[in-house]
Amino acid sequence: MATNESVSIFSSASLAVEYVDSLLPENPLQEPFKNAWNYMLNNYTKFQIATWGSLIVHEALYFLFCLPGFLFQFIPYMKKYKIQKDKPETWENQWKCFKVLLFNHFCIQLPLICGTYYFTEYFNIPYDWERMPRWYFLLARCFGCAVIEDTWHYFLHRLLHHKRIYKYIHKVHHEFQAPFGMEAEYAHPLETLILGTGFFIGIVLLCDHVILLWAWVTIRLLETIDVHR
């Protein structure tokens, strides 16, 4: 009985969202996005899209989201808004952070990204425009991924702060006393793997189109960079 009621609630909610969506004006960016997506499908293989496409999305978004906070640190007018004014950042620290990021991104994360294609093939995850989910379904699945990842992160993050293991792994992430956006993925390689696992759990459980991979990584990067700056 409870299951039937839940299904009924979700069905009603879905119909309500679809009705609201039908009242909204047509998105002027949809057609250009559709053309760009189909161009990508026609000119690149699934392996190239899943691997190099995902890498480009991650790198471009990560450093794009970091850029404003990075620049603000060295603009005199913006320094008055800095909370920890007694701990100014230096170019040396930024360069140190950047080098570790490059190692983590290309030596730890890239090998994992290379498995994306095989994941989509094994689970028959579609790439085509026709089966791309509507924005509200995509948003709902991203929310589900966020709940799963946040739960994983909370408990594993607490574990990494345990006094017996903190100095071996998580201490690296806290080397900078005044956090800044680019530091979000500055971490020990083991921490990158441990906490990064939470990102993929939601994808494994909820992914119904390759676009979810890129939508979820966009939201996750925006959130983690924002909380570090």
d(CA 112, CA 6): 36
Strands (E), 38-167: none
> Is the Cβ–Cβ distance between 152 and 197 less than 8 Å?
yes
d(CA 133, CA 181): 31
CA-based diameter of the chain, in Å?
Answer: 63
What is residue 202's predicted lDDT score, i.e. its pLDDT? 94
What is residue 7's predicted lDDT score, i.e. its pLDDT? 47
Put residue 124 in one of left, alpha, beta given phi > 0 → left and psi -120 to 50 → alpha.
left
Could you tell me how far CA 17 lies from the centroid of its own chain?
25
pLDDT 10s per residue in the chain (229 long)?
555 554 455 555 555 666 566 656 777 778 999 999 999 999 999 999 999 999 999 999 999 999 888 888 778 787 777 777 777 777 888 899 999 999 999 999 999 999 999 999 999 999 999 999 998 899 999 999 999 999 999 999 999 999 999 999 999 998 887 778 888 899 999 999 999 999 999 999 999 999 999 999 999 999 999 887 7
Give the three-state DSSP class for 29: coil
d(CA 202, CA 151): 11
What is residue 4's predicted lDDT score, i.e. its pLDDT? 57
Indicate the pTM of the whole model. Answer: 0.86
What is residue 179's predicted lDDT score, i.e. its pLDDT? 77
d(CA 49, CA 209): 13
